[in-house]
Structure 1
């Protein structure tokens, strides 16, 4: 069984097959899918009902494909909410499709169609296929995620492939013809992946200097990681200890993923063809 958080303030949920969960509201949640468990924390700027950070997690008809999206949409209000709805519909429409580059390219095209006033978004998309334990990651101009693989024992950045083309991996809505590269990781039990919004890399240290990717990585490497349910609170506390204003001047979202090795049940595999006959269940909550 996946380890669940001991913090009673964190809501718990085991995702159902053919379901999309997420939104842009304040949240502190634990989720489990076959092969993965996740902890998500999001706090919109100035305690607003909703922010520009958008997070979604989907589980396919059998539960074998888990897709995770974290996006930082420029602007707020109605325009940002409209784009968040568009991203949600893409998650629902592609819930059973494992090919990720197509999904991200379609996101970019739809963003260009829906965006107004030169809006754009950075985003990171992960697709996990539980039978092979493969996590495929695409990054559209977002802060680089981090990974801790048990065999290495140290947090490292998940960088884009060195062969990335000149017009690749741009934020969504910047270049219509942009392409997107992907990085593939094979996760063992206990491996961790950390996604976060730019509020974390744009935090400052005690001298007022921006932490940046290296400063954030240094802080994260100093945290205990053997109890993942306590990792995000410890990270937030460590960032705020650097400077009390940190994580309060922008939307702040962080998502921790842990590989568990749990497989899809025989029952879910048998029911998958019947679930394909209905649309994906919408468990999202969006606010303007």
Structure 2
């Protein structure tokens, strides 16, 4: 794994803007970690940016991010997790969670990835009793489709270039109640329904569901940890999701065309200018749609599929995203119009 650590001076001042490090992922490479970073990502059909700053300038924290692009160069996956608390003990839990994320990132469907991380969280947390929220984004570049799987994490913000507004992506009502049939879990051994989409490590038997949205060129998705919305002002009032949306919509930078680093830096500065202060690890990730991408050349696609098919022979788990019907025969899928995201 390649670590990028070109870090801004501090998230506590408007000088957070720095010279970003450009990160281009190699075939099936997993990039990320829980250390400070200020990095631009070059991804199939997306321009991305990751800003992360552990609490009080520590070397590492409990915010963990991992990004990967499949061998066919068409599927990108990002996972952002937030371990409860902060400090060195939380940083160690974050390092263990990072290894779990790396192990499964390319080898499992989104909702099963969340379920596997949830099952492993007891081992990851040890006797600390800590839990983590997480969000999994899977982007299929040729169709500009993104699947969002949320494990108790703050809602992503979606920017639509058509109306030039940020809005929170709401979770469908059926995902906040009981049972996650889509996750392949109709109930536990007793026949009782399974709670859906809870944070990692809260309950053992949890199902997770994905929500599919379609992106257009210039649209953007922002995922972040709760430090942003829990920022306090002098009256001990939290910013909240609505406050973050207001700050985002008040930016001079146009997310559809501006350099992503300036959008994230501008948002953090706007929160600080509003009199709010951060008291936790802080991470924000912006992904902007650049339009449909054909991905890799036919030769590289064939090689990627071959590696996926022969993975068991090399005693490695098969990368299911590459073997999905959508990736193998995607031209047959273009007729299907996806549902637009529900935003408040």
Whether these two folds match at TM > 0.5 is yes
Supply the distance in 1 between the matched residues of 2:203 and 2:249 (Cα, whole angstroms): 35
Q: What secondary structure sits across from 1:246 in the alignment?
A: coil
Q: Which one scores higher on RCO, CA 8 angstroms, separation ≥ 6?
A: 1
Q: Which residue number in structure 2 is paired with residue 142 of structure 1? A: 153
Supply the distance in 1 between the matched residues of 2:290 and 2:122 (Cα, whole angstroms): 37
Supply the distance in 2 between the matched residues of 1:138 and 1:150 (Cα, whole angstroms): 23
Normalised by the length of structure 1, the TM-score is 0.86
Tell me if 1:202 matches 2:219: no
Q: Which residue number in structure 2 is paired with residue 234 of structure 1? A: 266
Supply the distance in 2 between the matched residues of 1:119 and 1:259 (Cα, whole angstroms): 35
Q: What secondary structure sits across from 2:203 in the alignment?
A: coil
Residues 92, 34 of structure 1: CA spacing in aligned structure 2 closer, same or farther, 3 A cutoff?
farther
Supply the distance in 1 between the matched residues of 2:234 and 2:29 (Cα, whole angstroms): 43
Supply the distance in 2 between the matched residues of 1:44 and 1:180 (Cα, whole angstroms): 28
Q: Which residue number in structure 2 is paired with residue 189 of structure 1? A: 217
Q: Which residue number in structure 1 is paired with residue 285 of structure 2? A: 255
Supply the distance in 1 between the matched residues of 2:122 and 2:139 (Cα, whole angstroms): 27
1:185-233 CA distance string (max 9 Å, x none): 1111111000111111011346442111111111111113231421011
1:1-288 equivalence runs, <5 A:
9-75=19-85, 76-78=87-89, 80-97=91-108, 99-115=109-125, 116-164=127-175, 165-166=177-178, 167-205=195-233, 207-223=235-251, 224-225=253-254, 226-229=257-260, 230-243=262-275, 246-247=277-278, 249-261=279-291, 262-266=293-297, 267-273=299-305, 275-276=307-308
Q: What secondary structure sits across from 1:213 in the alignment?
A: helix
Q: What secondary structure sits across from 2:269 in the alignment?
A: helix
Residues 84, 63 of structure 1: CA spacing in aligned structure 2 closer, same or farther, 3 A cutoff?
farther
Kept in 2, the 8 Å contact 1:138–1:180? The answer is: yes
Task: Quote how far apart the aligned CAs of 1:275 are.
Answer: 4.6
Q: Where do 5+ consecutive residues of structure 2 fail to align?
A: 1-16, 179-194, 318-344
1:32-67 CA distance string (max 9 Å, x none): 111112111001011100011111111112122111
The alignment yields a C-alpha RMSD, in angstroms, of 2.2
Equivalent residue pairs, number: 271
Q: Where do 5+ consecutive residues of structure 1 fail to align?
A: 1-6, 281-288
Supply the distance in 2 between the matched residues of 1:212 and 1:79 (Cα, whole angstroms): 24
Higher-Rg member (1/2): 2
Q: Which structure has the highest helix share of the two? A: 2
